[in-house]
């Protein structure tokens, strides 16, 4: 029987199918951070349960860590609650014998960047993390999904996860992306088409010649944003690009073990006659540099468009959503996106904090400087390895020369759980993944963009079509 990639991954991890429609699936890898793990560990202690498999877990603090004064370690924290959560993670890892990348470890960074780049995440694995953007890891043909605290405790105690199988959604993209158009623009375009709930109940597989032409970094970006369309996980089939990426990773198999693993990994694709429950086909030529204008990622437009008018809403519910978004964002209907000034710019996050993203940004800003009306531009590498490589290539000097701030690894301004935040009413062009109300700070206003578009906003002081600079 022909199977989709998701079917294959699911079937190889099912422990038992239950009569209620749920299944227990085995979890190969559990990556934890400081925000969601403490309650799960406390649950183990309260119930007197042991940790099932400590060697399946890797830990790294990322959400709340400061991106300055890293040499001070825990003394660099200004938020005492954030410090306590990191200290609690450190303590739990010591108590349970869990491998951890401490703040002082050169490998420290964002969970969804550290996992793949270290080979902690590998093709064919089932991967969980107490963070919704765990879907990122699916770019390596892994079954990766975010889970809540109670599920995390269940995985700690049993190495299994109870859930209902998803339906299959294939997003096929063919053709060549235009100049200045990146995987981030493609992700925003897909979410715009599907809507914020269009992927509910689905696992999305990204396919087609455009996706195959993407680097693994671009595929990570696509899968990272999958959750913003409501889907549980995103996937890309294993191919030569994936193989080249995982081959040299520190935790990847070596020698004959790698050869054997490769034999299994090469079967991680959807069979040609596999049936999908839903399909979306996109011509890559229709994708433009994109910008979110509202308070959900699906409220997105091409940079050369104008904010919609309420009279164009297709339903009373959509009109109400638009009205709320306009009020929060402080925007008027019909405004051209390119007329919107920004106060800050953020380049980083698990969506766009990889070396490819920083290279693209540096290539656009070299020899130029930020606009005087832009208060600050934060460039935050996604991991210590990304930071090291960027500095080896001199990217940090390019950013500093442009008046940008070069920071230490962490989630930074993506989530307003650390000192890097917007002030009320400030507007930010951000390479992160969510533009929810207050996501980057109380009453802060977020416009989601690609790294190249973020640089264009920093240089011009407003949302700007990067294709004009490239030309």
Last residue of a domain, one of 254, 286, 318: 286
Domain that holds residue 33: 5-164
* First CA to last CA distance, the chain: 50
Q: What is the pLDDT at residue 88?
A: 97
**Interatomic CA distance for residues 278 and 168, integer angstroms:** 7
**Interatomic CA distance for residues 103 and 424, integer angstroms:** 30
Average pLDDT over residues 445-454: 98
Contact 233, 121 (CB under 8 A): no
Place of tokens 């993506």: 414
Same domain for 300 and 332: yes
Region of 390 on the Ramachandran plot (φ > 0 left; ψ -120 to 50 alpha; else beta): alpha
**Domain CATH number, residue 357:** 3.30.499.10
Same domain for 328 and 272: no
Place of tokens 């009453």: 443
Q: What is the pLDDT at residue 279?
A: 98
Q: pLDDT tens digits for 412-449?
A: 999 999 999 999 999 999 999 999 999 999 999 999 99
Residue 161 in this model has a pLDDT that exceeds 90: yes
Q: Percentage of residues in the chain with pLDDT exceeding 90?
A: 98
Q: pLDDT tens digits for 273-284?
A: 999 999 999 999
Same domain for 171 and 297: no
Average pLDDT over residues 227-254: 97
Q: pLDDT tens digits for 33-84?
A: 999 999 999 999 999 999 999 999 999 999 999 999 888 999 999 999 999 9
**What are the residues whose beta carbons fall under 8 Å from the beta carbon of 93, sequence distance 6 or more?**
59, 99, 100
Residue 471 in this model has a pLDDT that exceeds 90: no
Last residue of a domain, one of 265, 286, 307: 286
Same domain for 249 and 211: yes
The three-class DSSP label of residue 468 is: helix
Query: 374, 380, 373, 371: which is closest to 419 by C-alpha?
Result: 380
Q: What is the pLDDT at residue 318?
A: 96
Q: Which DSSP string corresponds to 65-130?
A: --SS-GGGGGGG-S-HHHHHHHHHHHHHHHHHT-EEE-TTSTT-B-HHHHHHHHTSS-TT-EEEES
Same domain for 140 and 178: no
Same domain for 227 and 206: yes
Same domain for 446 and 431: yes
**Interatomic CA distance for residues 458 and 430, integer angstroms:** 10
Query: 363, 345, 344, 365: which is closest to 355 by C-alpha?
Result: 363
Q: How many domains does the chain have?
A: 3
**Interatomic CA distance for residues 29 and 224, integer angstroms:** 18
Last residue of a domain, one of 269, 286, 303: 286
What is the sign of the dihedral through the CA atoms of 340, 341, 342 and 348? positive
Place of tokens 């409501």: 230
Q: What is the pLDDT at residue 1?
A: 87
């Amino acid at each position: 029987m022909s199977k989709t990639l998701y079917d294959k991954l699911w079937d190889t991890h099912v422990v038992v199918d239950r009569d209620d429609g749920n299944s227990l699936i085995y979890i190969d890898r559990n990556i934890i951070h400081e925000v969601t793990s403490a309650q799960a560990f406390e649950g183990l202690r309260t119930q007197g349960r042991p940790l099932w498999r400590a060697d399946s877990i890797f830990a790294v603090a990322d959400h709340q860590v400061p991106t300055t004064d890293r040499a001070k370690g825990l003394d660099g924290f200004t938020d005492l609650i954030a410090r306590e959560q990191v200290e609690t993670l450190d303590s739990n890892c010591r108590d349970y014998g869990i491998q951890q990348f401490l703040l002082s470890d050169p490998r420290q960074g964002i969970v969804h960047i550290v996992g793949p780049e270290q080979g902690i995440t590998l093709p064919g694995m089932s991967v969980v993390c107490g963070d919704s953007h765990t879907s990122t890891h699916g770019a390596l043909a892994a079954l990766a999904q975010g889970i809540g605290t109670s599920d995390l405790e269940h995985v700690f105690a049993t190495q299994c996860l109870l859930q209902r199988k998803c339906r299959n959604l294939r997003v096929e993209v063919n053709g060549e992306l235009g100049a200045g158009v990146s995987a981030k623009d493609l992700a925003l375009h897909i979410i715009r088409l599907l809507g914020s709930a269009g992927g509910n109940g689905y696992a999305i597989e990204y396919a087609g010649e455009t996706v195959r032409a993407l680097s693994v970094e671009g595929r990570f970006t696509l899968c990272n944003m999958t959750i913003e369309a409501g889907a549980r996980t995103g996937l890309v089939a294993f191919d030569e690009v994936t193989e080249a990426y995982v081959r040299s990773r520190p935790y990847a198999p070596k020698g004959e073990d790698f050869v054997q693993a490769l034999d299994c990994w090469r079967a991680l694709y959807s069979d040609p006659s596999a049936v999908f429950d839903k399909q979306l086909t996109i011509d890559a030529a229709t994708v433009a540099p994109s910008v979110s204008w509202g308070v959900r990622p699906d409220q997105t437009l091409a940079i050369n468009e104008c904010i919609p008018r309420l009279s164009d809403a297709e339903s009373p519910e959509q009109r109400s959503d638009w009205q709320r978004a306009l009020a929060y964002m402080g925007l008027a209907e019909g405004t051209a996106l390119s007329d919107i000034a920004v106060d800050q710019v953020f380049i980083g996050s698990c969506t766009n904090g990889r070396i490819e993203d920083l290279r693209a940004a540096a290539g656009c800003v070299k020899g130029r400087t930020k606009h005087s009306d832009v208060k600050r531009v934060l460039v935050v590498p996604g991991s210590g390895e990304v930071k090291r490589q960027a500095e080896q290539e001199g990217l940090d000097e390019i950013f500093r020369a442009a008046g940008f701030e070069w920071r230490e690894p962490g989630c930074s301004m993506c989530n307003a759980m650390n000192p890097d935040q917007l002030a009320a009413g400030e507007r930010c062009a951000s390479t992160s993944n969510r533009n929810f109300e207050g996501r980057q700070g109380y009453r802060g206003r977020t416009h989601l963009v690609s790294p190249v578009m973020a640089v264009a906003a920093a240089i011009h002081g407003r949302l700007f079509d990067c294709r004009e600079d490239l030309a």
